[in-house]
Amino acid sequence: MKFERYGIGIAKGLMVTIKHLFRHPITVQYPEQRLHPSRRTRGNELVWSKDKCTGCATCAKACHEGAIRIVTSTSPDINNNYEVETYEVDTGYCIFCGLCVEACPFNALFMGYAYERSQYRRNDLVQSKEDMMLESGKKQPSGYFFPEIAKELPRQTLLLEKITEREEE
């Protein structure tokens, strides 16, 4: 058994704390300060385009978690499209792998850019089509799988750069 003098461990721990007292903090004061995530982030929601979706259900078939529920009816509209009555994603089951986004043949599905969707109730994790509709203008798709969108998003905030800025002040 290794013998150590009593209190050495505490002293070592204190030295680490004291050393960090004189360093610039590398945390931000959330929620007052928010960082931009990566432009290609897979946020904790999906964004869906009502105008582009044909109701083909390829996304639901690609989802190994069974997180997407689609109900369609035949539509008398042009192009023989289905009418999408229900489009839901249960983000409680979704693992944000992005496979449904890659599978969509009509570019109607996107990973979201948001990361603040925690809920108190399990049922509130289900996104309805109204919640995730691109055309509402309230949802920002991420640049994941869509480089043309990534170009338009703000540059990711790197904590390392924030520290360098503070040290140069």
- From the CB of 70, what's the least distance to ligand SF4, in Å? 6
Question: Which token pair is 164?
Answer: 């360098």
* Nearest CB to ligand SF4, comparing residues 128 and 164: 128
- Under a CB-based contact definition with an 8 Å cutoff, are residues 93 and 63 in contact? no
- From the CB of 139, what's the least distance to ligand SF4, in Å? 14
* Nearest CB to ligand SF4, comparing residues 95 and 159: 95
Strand residues in the chain grouped as ranges (E): 46-48, 68-74, 82-90, 109-111, 126-127
Question: How many angstroms separate the CA atoms of 46 and 112, rounded?
Answer: 5
Sign of CA dihedral 57, 59, 63, 69: negative
Q: Residue-wise over 129-143: b if at least 16 C-beta within 10 A, else e? A: bebbbbeeeebbbbb
* Nearest CB to ligand SF4, comparing residues 45 and 153: 45
Peptide bond into 31 cis (omega under 30): yes
* Nearest CB to ligand SF4, comparing residues 108 and 149: 108
- Under a CB-based contact definition with an 8 Å cutoff, are residues 141 and 113 in contact? yes
* Nearest CB to ligand SF4, comparing residues 57 and 163: 57
- From the CB of 66, what's the least distance to ligand SF4, in Å? 8
- From the CB of 26, what's the least distance to ligand SF4, in Å? 31
- From the CB of 100, what's the least distance to ligand SF4, in Å? 3
Q: Where does this chain bind ligand SF4 (CB under 6 A)?
A: 48, 53-59, 62-63, 65, 67-68, 70, 89, 94-100, 104, 106, 108-109
